[in-house]
Amino acid sequence: MAPTRLKISSYAGLATALFGLASYRFYEGQGAQDPPGKAQVVVGTVVQGLSQAHYQPQRIDDAFSKRVFDLALKRLDYRKKYLLQADVTQLLKYQTDIDDETKRGTTEFLDASTRLLAGRTKQVQTLTRELLAQPFAFDADETLQTDFEKATFPLSAADQREQWRKLLKYETLVRVADMLDEQDKLHDRARVASLRHAPVPAGPERTLAQMEVEARRRVLAYYEEQFADQPDANEVLANYANVIANTYDPHTTYLAPQQKEDFDFQLTGRMDGIGALLREKDGLIYVEDIVPGSASYRQGQLKKGDAILRVAQGTAEPVSIEGWHSSKAATIIKGKKGTEVRLTVRKPDGSTKVIPLVRDVVVNEETYAQSAVITDPSGVKLGYLRLPVFYADFTGAGGRSAADDVRKELAKLTAEGVQGVVFDLRENGGGSLSDAVAMAGLFMPTGPMVQVQDSRGVTQVLLDKDPRVQYSGPLVVLVNKHSASASEILAAAIQDYKRGLIVGTTSTYGKGTVQRIVDLDAALPAGLSALKPLGSLKFTMQKFYRVTGSSTQFKGVASDIVLPDVASYLDEGERENDYPLKWDEIKPANFAPWDHQPNYAKLEASSKARVAASPSFQQMKALVQRLRQRQQET
């Protein structure tokens, strides 16, 4: 296939030039003052650079300031455990001043909020020690608000004390329950051993009062670790720069130097660890994706969307990672092959679970396209093709590409005489835009596959110019809420050309934007080279559109046939992020639909009948209903 390719190097060069100009103007704006520090340069370059290079640039004014302030405050004390309402009121004076700070080359709001949080954290540390010094009474009927989005900042120190008392009591009770469970299991093993006339396993026999004392000790140790692990200046800066970037859109992010190293390391496809990609949101570490073939992928319990609350090395006491930056969390989750890590995670339904994982080498081969032939009871042969990610060799070193590998797998399936292909894009978060275009061309002749538009309104129609069709038979594309970006490009092209059926959740993720990464060091004037490394910025430069002119941004791609899905109760997708770019549409491209179109009405009716008659699907629908109700009650 020979798709029209974006001139990535020219866009990247333009972006670097714009950021270099922004950094130069910021530096020149300091006048006769002393040279600015790292925080001032990073913040200034990010603000000024995004105001020029982002797809949807913002004016650096009071409205911009309010957006940054609101998101920064939301993430500063996401669980509303440390600050009082009076503290929030005190910070309001900076609400419309952040734009002026960036022009002055100062960071007053960042400095003030950091000092305020640090002071309150020390006070809460003293409070937890006092509360955990005395036993809790478990005979009172009390409630605790566990949904931090519904919580409010305490009005007084007394209110805060009461909130912490309930929280620490709950944490203590959880540990007592764990110890009771351990003791019950020990009794069970002893009974089994006795019946077999084997040695009875020894273990401590503790009273409930003794367990309560030990539980409080563990809770205190847990929080002492958390209080001791306060973010350093670089982490504070990274968090703030990321807040600024995220006010443009969810996929515009600042990457601190260590994060950029981790990002590059992930591109090699080989590392020791559990194979989970992490992201930080509102002070929690979430699983962004699971690397196919990794320890997490094979073990199967850790899922995308899980929040990792605590991390334990083997049998050691868990360490809380709430409030940590994702790069810092990754450092204790990663480790040598063969070692065990135990993750305490909160599932999207609010339940918690301890997941033990043995670290291993992430095998790159399992990230590539794979296929299999499935023969049903009637003898019909179907091809199953799975693509975890739209991979490509961005370095130009002759590595593998997703489009080439899918072409080879389709050739294998065709040689096997399959009568239909199921192309599985579930959990595929995207990747190479060019490979998505080339891949669409494997299923239909030459024509436009997607349109790309930049901030100037300049539109490129990306074509597949090869008239050959690798596979022309019946086609089903499986998607879910985590199918995003390049997956949505391919699914949309298949749907718009009426080339096949899109089957899965109601719609896909809804990411219709294209990002580039700029090394901020490359944009730094020579006079500030001592501040290196500054990190990198991943920012949105373009949006892509279907050949119909409609964007996939925000809305995603709607399935032709919707199937029950256990995650359908979750509010997920682009629309749930802060400051997503909105849906829009442009002029449609000139394209001709596929000659042999599916009978959509007949296929949908048949699918509904099978779902209604399937005990498994009916059980899944009932489970989804229970999970939705539980989520609403949290």
CB 33: neighbour CB atoms within 10 A? Answer: 9
Q: Each residue of 232-249: pLDDT tens digit?
A: 888 899 999 999 999 999
55 within some domain = yes
- Predicted pLDDT of residue 5: 32
Of residues 365 and 406, the one with the higher pLDDT is: 406
**Does residue 269 carry a pLDDT above 50?**
no
pLDDT value at residue 202: 61
**238 and 279 share one domain:** no
Whole-number Å distance between alpha carbons of 78 and 91:
15
Among 72-76, 186-190, 379-383, the minimum mean pLDDT is found in 186-190
Query: What confidence tier does 157 reach under pLDDT thresholds 50, 70, 90?
Result: very high
Q: Is the pTM of this model over 0.85?
A: no
Number of domains in the chain: 4
Are residues 322 and 374 both part of a single domain?
no
* 401 and 322 belong to one structural domain: no
Do 448 and 339 sit in the same domain of this protein? Answer: no
At residue 402, does pLDDT exceed 80?
Answer: yes
Q: 441 with 475, same domain? A: yes
Q: Which CATH number fits the domain that encloses residue 318?
A: 2.30.42.10
The whole-number average pLDDT for the span 507-528 is 88
Q: Select, from the ranges 214-218, 267-271, 328-332, the one with the highest average predicted confidence (pLDDT).
A: 214-218
Contact 113, 76 (CB under 8 A): yes
The confidence score (pLDDT) of residue 364 equals 60
Helix (H, G, I), strand (E, B) or coil at 263: helix
Using a pLDDT cut of 90, give the percent of the chain over it.
Answer: 60
571 and 427 in one domain?
yes
Burial of 610 from C-beta contacts in 10 A (0-12 / 13-18 / 19+): exposed
Share of the chain above pLDDT 70, in %: 89
Cα angle 301-304-310, degrees, rounded to a multiple of 5: 65
Q: Are residues 158 and 276 in the same domain?
A: no
pLDDT in tens, 24-44: 555 555 554 566 788 888 998
Among residues 317, 341, 361, the one where a domain terminates is: 361
pLDDT tens readout for residues 282-317: 778 999 988 877 899 999 999 999 999 999 999 899
E strand spans, 388-439: 421-424
Averaged pLDDT of the chain: 88
Residue, of 70 and 568, whose pLDDT is higher: 70
Residue 353 lies in a domain: yes
- pLDDT over 60 at 97, yes or no: yes
Query: Could you tell me if 360 and 295 are in contact, meaning their C-beta atoms sit under 8 angstroms apart?
Result: yes
pLDDT, average across residues 324-342: 87
Q: How confident is the model at residue 399 (pLDDT cuts 50, 70, 90)?
A: low
The mean pLDDT of 585-603, rounded to a whole number, is: 93
Q: Work out the pLDDT band at 444, boundaries 50, 70, 90.
A: very high
**How far lies 596's CA from each of 290, 395, 440, 495, 500, in Å?**
37, 39, 16, 13, 9
Does 606 reside within a domain?
Answer: no
pLDDT surpasses 90 at 324: no
Reply yes or no on whether the pLDDT at 630 is more than 80.
no
* pLDDT at residue 50 in the model: 93
159 with 70, same domain: the answer is no
What is the per-residue pLDDT for 17? Answer: 52
Same domain? 422 vs 558:
yes
Closest CA to 386 of 476, 274, 270: 476
- Rounded to whole angstroms, the Cα distance separating 502 from 396 reads 33
pLDDT in tens, 103-135: 888 999 999 999 999 999 999 999 999 999 999
> Is residue 523's pLDDT more than 80?
no
Residues 388 and 485 in one domain: yes
Instruction: Of 253, 290, 295, 291, give the one whose Cα is nearest residue 274.
Output: 295
Mean pLDDT of 584-592: 96
**Per-residue pLDDT at 2:** 37
Residue 5 lies in a domain: no
Question: At which of 67, 100, 117 does a domain end?
Answer: 117
| 263 pLDDT tier (thresholds 50, 70, 90) | low
R_g over Cα of the chain = 27
Q: Summarize the confidence of residues 440-465 as an average pLDDT.
A: 95
| Residues 317 and 222 sit within 8 Å (Cβ to Cβ) | yes
| Low-confidence winner among 207-216, 336-345, 476-485, 519-528 (lowest mean pLDDT) | 519-528
> Of the ranges 145-149, 217-221, 571-575, which is most confident?
217-221
Domain limit, last residue, from 333, 361, 389: 361
Enclosing domain of residue 27: 13-77+87-117
Is the confidence at residue 19, as pLDDT, over 90? no
**How high is the pLDDT of residue 264?**
52
Q: Same domain, yes or no, for 293 and 312? A: yes
State the pLDDT at residue 25. Answer: 56
Distances in Å between the Cα of 259 and the Cα atoms of 28, 253, 462, 522 are 29, 11, 32, 17
